[in-house]
Amino acid sequence: MQQIHHLIDGKPVQGTDYFETVNPATQEVLAEVASGGEAEVNAAVAAAKAAFPKWAGLPAPERAKLIRKLGDLIAKHVPEIAQTETNDCGQVIAQTGKQLIPRAADNFYYFAEMCTRVDGHTYPTPTHLNYTLFHPVGVCALISPWNVPFMTATWKVAPCLAFGNTAVLKMSELSPLTAARLGELALEAGIPAGVLNLVHGYGKEAGEPLVAHPDVRAISFTGSTATGNRIVKSAGLKKFSMELGGKSPFVIFEDADLDRALDAAVFMIFSNNGERCTAGSRILVQQSIYADFAAKFAERAKRITVGDPLDEKTIVGPMISQAHLAKVRSYIELGPKEGATLLCGGLEAPSNLPDRVKKGNYVMPTVFADVDNRMKIAQDEIFGPVACLIPFKDEAHAIELANDIAYGLSSYVWTENIGKAHRVAAAVEAGMCFVNSQNVRDLRQPFGGTKASGTGREGGTWSYEVFCEPKNIAVSM
């Protein structure tokens, strides 16, 4: 059995204990993974602290060269990393191989370039010249969930290292394999020992001591709102970026381009197995087109291929774990009890699964109509392929429903009326709004949410917020 170790100060470190990581499509044990605790966290933070002065002191173009090299190595190994990712977390190969892993390489290219272009601000006054410097922060804790693990890890590692920080990365215990590979590739790229450390393990044993460690200066966390809240309480005074849960509204007005809106709505709830923080999971449809939209949406959902995630044709793969499958199924069971109408999907397992994946954690793409926004299926983040279709009367009603939710991560507005598009985009309480579009990530844009979806933004210069320490220097004239 393959064993995965921690990576501390450039060396693989065995665990005192191990846990298994399981292929969610087959239930096959893929590897035994070292399970870290306070001792490993302390060693990793000490290594990151020791490596910091030299790494931060390197001229940015030299750091950039190594970071670009890491991007090259990822690009070179896309098929291998994509396959590992698909096996470890169930995201389909069409996504991991063509989108997620290649884009991870881009994350390193982007921030390699950007770290050589960090600028400052000047605020001249008659008596003083003020200017800012952006220093690295120091040791950063990077904590990642399981849904798109490699992409999320690289979103954090690339800016963190590029701006001169050192890191301790803790992946989800449910999908640690590709990040372990990232650690190896970082060393192969020539990134010095101690700059990127990895401690594997559970949230309580490894995550808690990491975020509470006094030498950790910044935390970039992606995960659930519940864990985010816990970390904010226990970590003490540190810089934070909290990328948390979502239940994003996908608003379709009667004057929308319906075919395009349908395609995007289907994509935003069923791609990535519905395990997507920015999923358009509350689909708000204007009353006048509601029945027509619901019928067409369910028709498309029924045609989605559920199956072996290693098959290029598969759109929806298995849920990450049996526990998560049970959670998703519990909401599918709840829907009709709350008064929603099941249009397709439901509790029956998909038929015609290939033998290889017959034991997988599968759920059919499920569509509920006649959903009231106050139902639990509309308010809770299900994090699976379950769509809620909610009717609305007019613009004011759409905004009211869109905002009647604890979360505020992403939002989507579909209308051909340009004024209405801008008004609704401005009024919706969310960190991001996509107009007549599905979620398209541009690395320059501020990514993140408001309300229970988090604090802080990452991407482009917004990443300064967590990974840089701005210093004002005031010179008397």
| Backbone dihedral region for residue 456 (phi beyond 0: left; psi -120 to 50: alpha; all else: beta) | left
Closest distance to ligand NAD from the beta carbon of 407 (Å): 9
Q: Of 183 and 307, which has the nearer Cβ to ligand NAD? A: 183
Active-site entry in 243, 275, 381, 429: 243
Q: Of 327 and 423, which has the nearer Cβ to ligand NAD? A: 327
Active site residue 115: no
CA dist 207 and 47 (Å) reads 17
CA dist 156 and 137 (Å) reads 14
Q: Of 85 and 208, which has the nearer Cβ to ligand NAD? A: 208
Closest distance to ligand NAD from the beta carbon of 352 (Å): 29
Listed in sequence order, the residues at least 6 apart from 64 whose beta carbon sits closer than 8 Å to its beta carbon are 112, 113, 115, 116, 162
Q: Of 319 and 390, which has the nearer Cβ to ligand NAD? A: 319
Closest distance to ligand NAD from the beta carbon of 387 (Å): 16
Burial class of residue 383, CB neighbours in 10 A (0-12, 13-18, 19+): buried
- Residues making up the chain, counted from first to last: 477
Hey, is 24 helix, strand or coil?
A: coil
Structure tokens, 12: 């693989």
Closest distance to ligand NAD from the beta carbon of 138 (Å): 19
DSSP 8-class letter at 204: I
Query: What DSSP line would sit under 293-350, residue for residue?
Result: HHHHHHHHHHT--BS-TTSTT-SB---S-HHHHHHHHHHHHHHHHHT-EEEE--SSPP
Torsion angle of the four alpha carbons 243, 152, 262, 369, in this order, in degrees rounded to the nearest 10? -50
Dmax over CA atoms of the chain, in Å, equals: 78
Active site residue 338: no
DSSP 8-class letter at 215: T
Report the relative pairing of strands 128-136 and 468-476 from DSSP bridges. antiparallel
Q: Of 63 and 329, which has the nearer Cβ to ligand NAD? A: 329
Structure tokens, 320: 């990450």
Listed in sequence order, the residues at least 6 apart from 397 whose beta carbon sits closer than 8 Å to its beta carbon are none
Closest distance to ligand NAD from the beta carbon of 167 (Å): 14
Q: Of 230 and 296, which has the nearer Cβ to ligand NAD? A: 230
Q: Of 204 and 303, which has the nearer Cβ to ligand NAD? A: 204
Active-site entry in 89, 115, 277, 433: 277
Residue 422 one-letter amino acid: H
Closest distance to ligand NAD from the beta carbon of 334 (Å): 18
Closest distance to ligand NAD from the beta carbon of 295 (Å): 29
CA dist 377 and 380 (Å) reads 6
Contact residues: ligand NAD, CB under 6 A: 143-147, 152, 170-173, 202-204, 207-208, 211, 222-224, 227, 230-231, 243-246, 277, 381, 383, 409, 449, 454
Which are the catalytic amino acids? 243, 277
